[in-house]
Amino acid sequence: MVVSPVHFIAVPLLAAFLMPILAKVNKNLLRIVPGIVLTYLGYVSVVLMNRVATEGTIIEVLAGWSAPWGINLVYTPFTGFLATLMIAMSFLIWLYSFKFKKVDDEPALKYFILQLMLTTGSVGLVLTGDIFNFFVFMEIIALSSYALTAFYRDRNGAEAAFKYLLIGAFASTLFLLAIVLLYSQVGTLNMAEISVRMHDVPTSMKVSILVLFLVGIGIEAEMFPLNGWAPDAYSQAPSPVGVAFAALVVKAGVYGLVRITYTLFGIEGSGIGPFLIIMGGITLVMAEITALKQTSLKRMLAYSSIGQMGFVLIAFGIGTHEAVFGAIFLMFNHAIIKGLLFMSGSYLVYNTPNKEIKYLSGYGMKMPVISLFFSLGALAIVGLPPFAGFWSKLYILLAAADGALYGLIALILVVSIIEIVYYFRVVGRLYFGKPAEGSIMRKPTVGGMIAMSILAIAILVVGFYPDIITGYIDAAASSILNTDEYIKNALGAVNELTPVENIIQ
């Protein structure tokens, strides 16, 4: 069997269905199986990334019906890059949480199934070429996220999950309504074909559909003012789940936003670009100012995460090749750096009341390695050279300068100062605060240490040699910007519904 993009969905689904039985055979299997699946998917990613680099976009037809009658998976350099990133991050999350709920197998089984399905949903959402299938994967992500948020079954977790559930269910409804309206206008669900037929849709209808889509997907992408669920969910969910939110769920949401605005509606001359810049700007400023006021470490990280997504939206709103390049680079950096910050931050606040920052005084001496990881992450995320975060910020600023958006540059720099203040406040407390008496340290697991070390090395390597990754990001940026290419590839040459000469205009 030759590897193909559908393995990203079929194999983990099969494993998730098998896991309840395997757990009855041997209870260690439930911890090992996700690792095996993710390793295999890592291998598939490597093979497919090489193939897409040499042969171009891979289209996989499902159930023997080519698009638009059936569903297809579209593995472009952009979607492939995100899928690979998600698989790699899921593997590290699995390593980090290998001993999760060691004493109680039943919740551990549920946890590993939910986490595996979260990965499946995110990767599937990125790869699919069909808008309804997109919605199905959105539901898979949403349902596993709700359950994982409430996983500790305490009062705050239940509140956070309930909030997320209400907002998320409302968003799903609007998203589905948008699909219904769209289908009533174009008579197809394939995203490439929708894109072809979009210019026949009346403007008032287009605006309604776009607004419904933006609200529906903006929740997952943490766009202001739809991100009320995020701080609670990040801080109440088990720590590996916080990492998964930052590395998978938000990335999938931003991907969806970009695919819908860039491919379905077209970013040029439609006013969507300035709209994304404004929304991104508001998200960025609101989130960073709120982060400054937080006393709980996890909430601070959550607001910082929202702010970064605002930054990504701004870059996608500018819409030039350089800006999109910076945006994708930032998505990559955010996944690895925020992953490291959440992993190390969770160990720091493991035994402190309310996860508050003020109890972290002097932890730099008590937990030297973890504090070092956290400080590295903090330095990288504010964009200091020579760490990974520097490059993405630089590219976005250069793109803004090219577009003569000087106000935007000023805004980004001011916000960066705020970011430096609240991150360095924590780092300063770690190293220069007076150690408190009698606090109990949490010893990190071996898997957790390996995962954090890999992330720290990745941050340093990408910081010093960005060239190892820029080739992939450059291809990804070209791929998302070239809608005609996407349509041509996704619909293929054989298409009875839309003559080929209509596709390329």
Residue 96 near residue 68 (C-beta atoms within 8 A): no
Among 28, 39, 187, 268, binds other proteins (CB under 8 A): 187
Does 24 interact with other proteins (rule: CB under 8 A)? yes
**Binding-site member from 25, 63, 440, 493 for other proteins (CB under 8 A):** 63
Q: Which is nearer to other proteins, 242 or 433 (CB)?
A: 242
The span from the CA of 427 to the CA of 126, in Å, is 36
- 137 contributes a contact to other proteins by CB under 8 A: yes
Residue 58: beta bridge partners? 75
DSSP letters for 413-453: HHHHHHHHHHHHHHHHHHHHSPPPTTPPPPPPPHHHHHHHH
Binding status of residue 169 toward other proteins by CB under 8 A: no
Give the residue from 20, 161, 32 showing the smallest Cα distance to 447.
32
Q: Which positions from 94 to 133 touch other proteins by CB under 8 A, shown as an x/- string?
A: ----------x-xx--xx-xx--x--x---x-------xx
Binding region for other proteins (CB under 8 A) out of 85-93, 151-159, 319-327, 410-418:
151-159
Q: In the set 58, 71, 252, 341, which binds other proteins (CB under 8 A)?
A: 71
- DSSP character at residue 64: T
Compare residues 121 and 364 and give the one whose CB is closer to other proteins: 121
Q: How far is CA 30 from the centre of its chain?
A: 25
Q: Does 18 bind other proteins (CB under 8 A)?
A: yes
Q: Does position 60 bind other proteins by CB under 8 A?
A: yes
Angstrom distance (rounded) from CA 274 to CA 303: 23
Which is nearer to other proteins, 140 or 318 (by Cβ)? Answer: 140
Report residue 310 CA to chain centroid gap: 13
Q: b/e per residue, 367-404, with b = 16+ CB within 10 A?
A: beebbbbbbbbbbbbbbeeebbbbbbbebbbbbbeebe
DSSP string, 271-335: SHHHHHHHHHHHHHHHHHHHHHH--BHHHHHHHHHHHHHHHHHHHHHH-SHHHHHHHHHHHHHHH
Nearer to other proteins, 98 or 135 (CB): 135
Residue 41 binds to other proteins (criterion: CB under 8 A): no
> Residue 410 to residues 157, 314, 414: CA-CA distances in angstroms?
38, 13, 6
Position 164, amino acid: Y
Which one of 39, 43, 46, 65 is in contact with other proteins (CB under 8 A)? Answer: 65
For residue 13, state whether it binds other proteins (rule: CB under 8 A): yes
Q: How far apart are CA 209 and CA 204, in angstroms?
A: 9
Of 40, 69, 275, 424, the one binding other proteins by CB under 8 A: 69
Supply the minimum distance, in Å, between the C-beta of residue 490 and other proteins.
15
Phi, psi at 356, each rounded to 5°? -85, 150
Phi, psi values for residue 104, rounded to 5°: -125, 110
Cis link prior to 107 (omega < 30° from 0)? no
Is 402 a residue that touches other proteins (CB under 8 A)? no
Point out which span in 29-37, 54-62, 225-233, 386-394 binds other proteins (CB under 8 A): 54-62
Only one of the segments 185-193, 243-251, 304-312, 395-403 lies at the binding site for other proteins (rule: CB under 8 A); that segment is: 185-193
Applying CB under 8 A, among 61, 286, 398, 436 the residue interacting with other proteins is: 61
Q: Per CB under 8 A, does 188 bind other proteins? A: yes
Residue 404 DSSP SS3: coil
Report, in Å, the least distance between residue 294 CB and other proteins: 27
Name, in order, each residue with C-beta under 8 angstroms of 471's C-beta and a sequence gap of 6 or more: none
Distance, CA of 5 to CA of 25 (rounded, Å) = 31
Each residue 297-326 as x (binds other proteins by CB under 8 A) or -, in order, gives: ------------------------------
For other proteins, the binding residues in 194-223 under the rule CB under 8 A are 202, 204-205, 208-209, 211
Burial of 17 (0-12, 13-18, 19+ CB in 10 A): exposed
In the complex with other proteins, the residue whose CB is nearer, 12 or 345, is 12
Provide, rounded to whole angstroms, the least separation between the CB of residue 274 and other proteins. 20
Q: Which residue's CB is nearer to other proteins, number 193 or number 419? A: 193
CB of 62 to other proteins, least distance (A): 5
Q: How far apart are the first and last CA of the chain?
A: 38
- Confirm or reject binding of residue 136 to other proteins (CB under 8 A): yes
Query: Does 457 engage in binding with other proteins (CB under 8 A)?
Result: no
Binding site for other proteins (CB under 8 A): 1, 4, 6, 9-10, 13-14, 16-21, 24, 60-65, 68-71, 104, 106-107, 110-111, 113-114, 117, 120, 124, 132-133, 136-137, 139-140, 143-144, 146-147, 150-151, 153, 158, 161, 177, 181, 184, 187-189, 202, 204-205, 208-209, 211, 496-497
